[in-house]
């Protein structure tokens, strides 16, 4: 399709209808009952009951049939999309003329030149705005921008990434903008692949996957770790971006935005946030009723920090942002999001209390069965399946919280109480080994272990520091799941 096929004229919600002609990919974690009428999945997880007439539609869409023009069909498709039970599939645009590329930078002439060369090669007709955030006069930013025919806007002093992005967005005259960091290299076809998502008038932003780029990718112990476990890489599965989702945020290393949606939330990033401003920006879009999509089928290259001091400083800063974000978005960033009954079951099993653990699991089955009874033919059986499937997920969630948040409290307890040592060691080790095994670029285990323990220690310190400074205990405590 061409870019003109998806003109921006909508408001958040898109009339409650998905665009006709869209193709859907059902989420890999979606469970559909035997009669096809009960759907369980999405992110955050929820249960959806559809009418009999919707069953053949969902089956056809799963086989690749586009959504038809009829309003009931488009309404059902919208429900699936908004629940995260299905993801949009679009063909690349034939031409893109309505997106302005905004590149904020500070004293990075070589990186900027490499970035703009890739932008001009892949999107030759796009307007480009370079925001120089107060670089020294001899940095050469103006010369680089001029060489690639980019409009230059300069801050007299350094004001930070939020202010630079805001200045760039204020200069945009097209319906859409692409925020691209200067240390990013975009691949061929990136803009043509991402632009069609805005054919859905409810979509405010679209982000690609961020992977390692450059000579530092995968070299050295920290380079290997960043390539395998970067906080900017949100993984291989598509998803809606929202709190408590599998993809709770996306980095703004590259982010396409609908300017109408940006203006609706004030037209700017929060310049008072020293870090985490991208997450806050995305969640404000979501709170306003818009959708933000993560599209990992498009990947961009980003230079990661592979030297010790910058690595530690950046990880600490990321973790400190959690407290500030919790103040603005209460309940969005708990240490773990778990069902109380399942959490109790896991803890009791770890404490070698099988009878009590069975009782806790039975309570969980009973509570869930009562919730499922109005919509599921065999609620107890279905609840038992869900509890059984949820136990390993809950165990891993609690284990991650131990390694990233709670270990400063639990290690002294384990020293005092010997029987806690084995469960604590297992909780620390399980996420590390699992993540190493699942890494796309699997580094040497000893190097990965050293970097991961450093990462966890720095992140724990930053999380506690940020939470205490912000005066909120939310990121240090667990929270219950919210099933819709």
Taking the CB of residue 274, how many other CB atoms lie within 10 A of it?
13
For position 215, what pLDDT does the model report?
A: 46
For position 220, what pLDDT does the model report?
A: 86
For position 483, what pLDDT does the model report?
A: 44
For residue range 337-357, what is the model confidence (pLDDT) as tens digits? Answer: 999 999 999 999 999 999 999
Q: Which of 117, 129, 66, 125 is nearest to 95 (CA)?
A: 125
For position 182, what pLDDT does the model report?
A: 96
10-residue mean pLDDT profile of the chain (484 residues): values are 38 70 96 89 89 96 96 97 96 94 96 97 95 94 96 96 97 98 96 98 97 65 88 94 94 97 96 92 97 97 87 93 94 93 95 95 95 86 92 96 95 91 93 89 88 96 96 92 50
For residue range 249-287, what is the model confidence (pLDDT) as tens digits? Answer: 999 999 999 999 999 999 999 999 888 999 999 999 999
For position 303, what pLDDT does the model report?
A: 83
What residues does each domain of the chain span? 23-89, 99-306, 336-479
For position 34, what pLDDT does the model report?
A: 86
Write the class of the CATH domain 99-306: alpha beta
Angle between helices 340-350 and 379-401 (to 10 degrees): 60
For position 214, what pLDDT does the model report?
A: 59
């Amino acid at each position: 399709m061409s870019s003109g096929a998806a003109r921006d004229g909508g408001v958040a919600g898109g009339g409650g209808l998905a665009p006709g002609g869209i193709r859907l990919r059902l989420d890999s974690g979606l469970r559909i009952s035997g009669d096809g009428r009960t759907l369980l999945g999405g992110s955050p997880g929820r249960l959806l009951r559809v009418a009999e007439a919707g069953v053949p539609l969902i089956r056809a869409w799963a086989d690749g049939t586009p959504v038809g023009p009829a309003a009931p069909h488009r309404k059902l498709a919208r429900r699936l999309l908004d629940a995260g039970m299905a993801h949009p599939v679009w063909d690349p645009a034939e031409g893109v003329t309505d997106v302005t590329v905004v590149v904020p930078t500070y004293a990075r002439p070589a990186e900027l030149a490499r970035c703009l060369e890739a932008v001009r090669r892949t999107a030759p007709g796009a307007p480009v705005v370079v925001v120089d955030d107060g670089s020294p006069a001899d940095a050469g930013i103006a010369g680089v921008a001029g060489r690639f025919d980019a409009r230059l806007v300069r801050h007299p002093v350094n004001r930070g990434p939020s202010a630079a992005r805001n200045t760039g967005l204020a200069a945009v005259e097209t319906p859409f903008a692409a925020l691209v960091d200067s240390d990013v290299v975009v691949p061929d076809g990136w803009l043509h692949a991402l632009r069609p998502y805005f054919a859905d008038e409810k979509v405010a932003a679209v982000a690609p996957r961020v992977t390692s780029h450059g000579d530092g990718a995968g070299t050295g112990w920290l380079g290997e770790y960043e390539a395998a476990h970067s906080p900017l890489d949100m993984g291989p599965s598509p998803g809606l971006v929202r709190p408590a989702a599998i993809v709770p945020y996306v980095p703004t290393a590259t982010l396409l935005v609908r300017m109408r949606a940006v203006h609706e939330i004030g037209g700017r990033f929060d310049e008072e946030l020293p870090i985490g401003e991208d997450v806050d920006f995305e969640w404000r879009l979501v709170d306003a009723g818009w959708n933000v999509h993560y599209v990992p089928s498009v990947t961009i290259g980003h230079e990661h920090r592979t030297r010790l001091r910058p690595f530690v400083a950046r990880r600490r800063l990321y973790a400190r942002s959690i407290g500030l974000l919790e103040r603005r978005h209460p309940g969005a960033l708990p240490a773990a999001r778990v069902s109380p009954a399942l959490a109790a079951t896991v803890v009791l099993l770890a404490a070698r209390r099988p009878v009590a653990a069975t009782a806790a699991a039975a309570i969980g089955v009973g509570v869930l069965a009562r919730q499922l009874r109005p919509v599921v033919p065999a609620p107890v059986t279905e609840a038992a399946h869900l509890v059984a499937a949820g136990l390993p997920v809950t165990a891993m969630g609690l284990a991650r919280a131990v390694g990233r948040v709670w270990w400063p409290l639990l290690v002294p307890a384990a020293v005092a109480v010997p029987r806690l040592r084995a469960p604590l060691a297992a909780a620390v080790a399980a996420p590390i080994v699992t993540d190493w095994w699942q890494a796309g670029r699997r580094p040497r285990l000893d190097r990965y272990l050293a970097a991961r323990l450093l990462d966890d220690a720095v992140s724990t310190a930053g999380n506690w520091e940020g939470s205490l400074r912000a005066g909120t205990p939310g990121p240090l405590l667990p929270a219950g799941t919210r099933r819709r």
